[in-house]
Chains A and B, each alone.
Chain A
Amino acid sequence: MKFPVPHDVKAKTIPGTEGWERMYPYQYQFVTDDPTRNQYEKEMFWFYDGLHYPEPLYPFDTIWDEAWYLALSQYNNRIFMVPPVRGVDHRMINGYVYISPVPVKNPEEIGSRVPHFMERAGHYYKNWDELEKKWKVKMEATIRELEQLEIPKLADMEDIKVVTDAIGESKGFHLLKNYDDLINLGIKCWQYHFEFLNLGYAAYVFFLDFVQKLFPSIPAQRVTQMISGIDVIMYQPDEELKKLAKKAIELGVDNAVCFSQEWTEVEAALKKLPKGVEWLTSLNLSREPWFNVSTGTGWFHHDRSWNDAMNIPLNGIQTYIQKVKAGVNIERPMEQVRAERDRITAEYRGLIEKEEDRKQFDELLGCAKTVFPYVENHLFYVEHWFHSVFWNKMREVAAILVEHGIIKDVEDVWLLRRDEIKQALWDVVTAWATGVTPRGTQTWPKEVEWRKGVMQKFKEWSPPPAIGTAPEVIQEPFTIVLWGVTNSSLADWAAVAEVKDPSTVKEFKGFAGSPGIVEGKARVCRTVEDIRQLQEGEILVAPTTSPSWAPAFAKIKACVTDVGGVMSHAAIVCREYGMPAVVGTGHATKIIQTGMMIRVDGSTGAITVAR
C-alpha cells in the first residue's frame, strides 16, 4: 500500500503558517537536512493518531504526547524488553501527531531479548494484583502531591516569615521550582500510566486474537463481552449521580435540585433549605475525587471536569431524578450482563473442538480478566483525576503570567511550549526581583496572536491518515489494539479521506461496537454540554464519548461515534445497557445532522441515513 512521502506533505506549508515548527519540540519535525534521518523517515510507516488527537495540538498540550512517547517506548524497549518491538516514534505536521512503531530488525537480538521479557513481563503477570495495589498507592500519592502543590504569587514585599523563620528562599524561586515540580509530576504520572498498560493490552489483544483464530467470524465485541460485567471505577462518577438523585428524593429536595439548569441558582436555593444543606454535604463527598472526571478525554486543556462545569453533573442528576420518580430502574443491569457474559463464554467454549485449545482459552480469558480492571481504571486516575487538577494548576501559573503582562488571557498560556513558559517565568521572576519590566511583555502577546491564527489554519487542514511506507507486519501491541492498524483499516483510512461531500452519503460503516439494530432520530452532540438537548429515545451521534457523558446513555437507544474501537467508552457502555453502538466511523458527525432518521446496525457496523 502506497502512502504519500512525509516530507512532501510537510513541504506544502499552509500560507500564513510559515515558521510553525517553532511551536513544537524540534525533534518532532520531519527533516530534509539530515540524509540519514531523512532516509529513516521515508522508510518508516507513520499514521495519524486521530484516536487521541482529533484536533491539532496546542503547543503546551504536547506535554502528554511527549509523556507517552517516552513512557510507552521505555517500557517496551528498555524495561520489559518486548522481543520484536522497540518504542513508538513521533512526528508532527501542522500540529497533528504521526506515530510509527519501531521494530527490532535483527533476529538474533529478538532472540536474546526473549529470556529477559519472560522474566520481566512474567513477574508482572504473575504478581499482577499485588503490584496493582502498589500502583494505586504510588498514583494516589502523586495526585495528592499535585493537589498540594502551591503556585505562589509574587508579592511586592516578601512575608516577614522569610526573615523570622530564616527561610532563605524567595517566592520567586518557589514559583520557578514549583513550576518544574508541576511538570515533573505530570511526567511521573505518565510513567505510572504505562507501568501496566502495555502488558495489559498484550494480554487482551492476544486473547482476542486467539479467539478470532478459533472463530474467524466472531465479532470483536463478542470477545470483549466475555470480559464484561467486571466492576471498574470509570462507572463510579455516574453511580455518584444516581446516588445523589436518590438522596435528593429521599430528603425531599428533588424539586429544588431540578428547578434550574444553572448550578449556581440551584446551589443558592439549596443553601436556604436545611435538607438542602445536608444534600450539598453529600454532594461535596461525591465531588472528591469523582467529579474530577473530565468532560472530554482529559487529554486537552479545554476538557473541563465536572467540578469545573457543574451544570453537566446537575443535568445528569436531574435526568436520574425524573427517571426514579417515573418508576424507572436506573441501576446498571449487572446481573443480566453477567448472566449473558457467562452464557456467551460457555457457548463459545463449548464450540472449541480441541482440548489444548480449550485449556488455552481458559488461560487467556483468565489473564484478560485479570488485566482488564487496570486497562480501564488507569484512565480515571491519570487522564481524568490527575489531568483535571493539573490543567487548573497550570491556569494558576497562567494567571501569574497574565498579571505580569506576558499574556493577555489565562487561556493564552496553551499557545506556549512548556519550556517557553519556564523561560517566561524566569523573565517574570528576575524582572520582579530586579524591579524592571519583563522583556516578554513586548514579545509574547504578538507571538500568541500569530499562533492563534496558525492554530485556526491547522484546524481547517485535514491530515492524511497515513504517510511513509506501510510495513508487512505490525507487532507493537498498542498499534494493533488502540489504533486497529490492519490492512483493511489502512484501506478504510484512505476511503475516509476521499469523502468529499458528506451531505450525499446514505450509507457508511464503522466498527460494530455493540450488537442490535435500531432506527430513530439522530441527535448530534459535539460536546458533553450538548447532551442536555437529548430527547428520550434519540440516537446519540458524537465525536467520541467519555465517562462524563454517562447520563446521556440513560436517555438514548443507540450511539454512533467518529472515533474509537470496540474497547472505547461508547461501545463498553452500550454493551452494558444492551443497546446498539457503531464506533470509529471517522465522520458520522459530519454526515449526520440532528433530526435525521438513521438506522444503526451494531452487529455489522452499518449506518443508513434516510435522505
Chain B
Amino acid sequence: MAMASGSGTAAAAQGGAPQLCWFEEVRKEDVALVGGKCSSLGELISAGVRVPPGFALTTHGYARFMRDAGVSGEIPGMLEGCGHDDLEQLESASKAIREMIEEHSFAWELEDAVAEYYRKLSVRCMVPAVPVAVRSSATAEDLPGASFAGQQDTYLWIRGVDDLLLHARRCISSLFTARAIAYRIRMGFPHEEVALSVGFQKMANSYTAGVMFTLNPGNGDRSVIAIDSNFGFGESVVSGEVTPDHFVVNKVALDILERTICSKEITYTVDPKTQKSVKIETPFERQSVQSLIDEEIVELARMGKAIEKHYGRPMDIEWAVDKDLPAGGNIFILQARPETVWSEKREKEAAVAGKASSAMDFILSSLLTGKKVS
C-alpha cells in the first residue's frame, strides 16, 4: 500500500491494518486490501486519470465486521452439505446468511470512521451529504481470467451515513447469493477465504455515460477504441437496456472512424424529489440525438489510450461526463479493468505472418491465397 502519511486513515488507529482508506492511497497491487475495483481506481488516480473521489472499506474492515457479526464462524456450518447443484438448499442457506449480515450493524468505531470519511468527502466535493455510489470490490473479481464481474452489487445515489452503511452491508451480503455460493463450490474456492472491500465513490452527475473498450470488441483490433454511450447514468448501457450510440476511434490518430447513432428510449437520471436514481423514458425528440459530442469522443479516447498505456494491456472502462462541471474537466473514469476475452484468445492464435519469414515469402503466400471477392 502506497500510504499517504497523515491523511487520517483508520490505519493509525488499527496499528497497520487499516479498515478505511482513500482511493488515492492505494495502487493496483492492493487488491488484497481493497479489492480489484478500488485498487484500480487508486491506480488510475496515480496515473493522472480523472476519477470521482471516494474511499474504501478495506478487507480488514470487512473481516472485522464478519467477525463482530459472528458470521465468519457460522457460515461453514450453514453451508455444510450444500452441493453446487442443490438449488433449493442453496437458496435457503443464502437467505439465512444474507439476513444475518444485513441485520447486523457495524461496530461503533467503524461507523464513526465511515462518518468521518464521508464528511471529508462531502467537504472535498463541496456538496453537503454528497451522493455516492456504493460498490462491492471483490478480491477475486476483475482479475484476468477469473470473471466474477457482476456477481456483486452496486447501489447508486446513496446519501447519508446510515444509508452508506446499510448498502455496504448489502454489498457484503451479495457475496452469499445462491449463485455466488454455487460458483465457489464448483470452483473449489473456500468461503472463508472470500474477502470483500466496499467502495464509496462520489456519484458523477452524469449527463452522458457508458463504456469504452481499448480494442474493437467485435474483432479484437487493438488499433481502435470502441465507445458505447447513452444519456444519463451508465446503468442503461451496462445493463443492455438500450442500444447505445456506438463510436469507433482510431487509437493512433484519434480520428472517429464510425458513428452509429441509435434510438435510445431509456435514460437513468436522478429524481429531484427523492434524490434517487430513476429510469425514465427519454423524450422522443432526444432519443436519436448523438449522446457525446465529437470533442468528448476524442478526449475520452485519449484517456482510454493513456489508461491502456499505463496498464500495458487492453482495458474495459466505465466513464461518465459530469454535467455539473465545465467542458475540459468533466469527463470521469468510473472504473477500468483488463479486457479478458480477446486477450486470452489472442494468445492462442497463430501469428498473421504465418510460416512466412521474409517479405518475399509473404508476398508469394499472399499471391497464392489471393483475395476473396464473393
Contacts and interface: CB of A to CB of B under 8 A. Distances in A.
Given A210-B352, A214-B352, A363 B252 contact: no
B371 A480 contact: yes
Contact of A219 (B257, B353, B370, B373): B257
B253 A515 contact: yes
A84 B371 CA distance: 12
B370 A217 contact: no
B131 to A, nearest CB: 38
Contact of A216 (B221, B252, B371): B221
Contacts of A83: 364, 367-368
B250 A475 contact: no
Interface stretch (B50-58, B323-331, B355-363): B355-363
Contacts of B219: 216-217
B251 A356 contact: no
A82 B367 CA distance: 8
Given A217-B216, A219-B250, A348-B223, A475 B372 contact: no
A222 B371 contact: no
A27 to B, nearest CB: 27
Interface string B131-173: 0000000000000000000000000000000000000000000
A595 interface: no
Interface stretch (A14-22, A308-316, A485-493): A485-493
Interface string B248-278: 1011110111100000000000000000000
Interface string B331-374: 00000000000000010000111001111101110111111111
Contacts of A215: 221-224
A362 B372 CA distance: 26
Chain A binding surface SS class: helix
Given A217-B250, A473-B372, A474-B373, A364 B216 contact: no
Nearest to B365: A206
Contacts, number: 137
A351 B223 CA distance: 7
Given A219-B257, A360-B352, A515-B255, A473 B373 contact: yes
A474 B251 CA distance: 31
B250 A367 contact: no
Residue from A364, A366, A470 with most neighbouring chain B CB atoms (10 Å) = A364
A241 B362 CA distance: 42
Contacts of A118: 360, 364
A283 to B, nearest CB: 41
A1 interface: yes
A359 B352 CA distance: 11
Interface in A359-407: 359-360, 363-364, 366-367
Interface of A: 1, 82-85, 110, 114, 117-118, 121-122, 125, 202-203, 206, 209-210, 213-219, 222, 344, 347-348, 351, 353-354, 356-357, 359-360, 363-364, 366-367, 470-475, 477, 480, 485-487, 490, 515-516, 603-604
Q: Across the A-B interface, give the 6 residue pairs with the lowest CB-CB distance, nearest first.
A: A475-B370, A360-B353, A215-B223, A603-B255, A367-B359, A356-B351
7 contacts: A85-B367, A121-B360, A203-B363, A356-B351, A487-B372, A490-B373, A515-B255
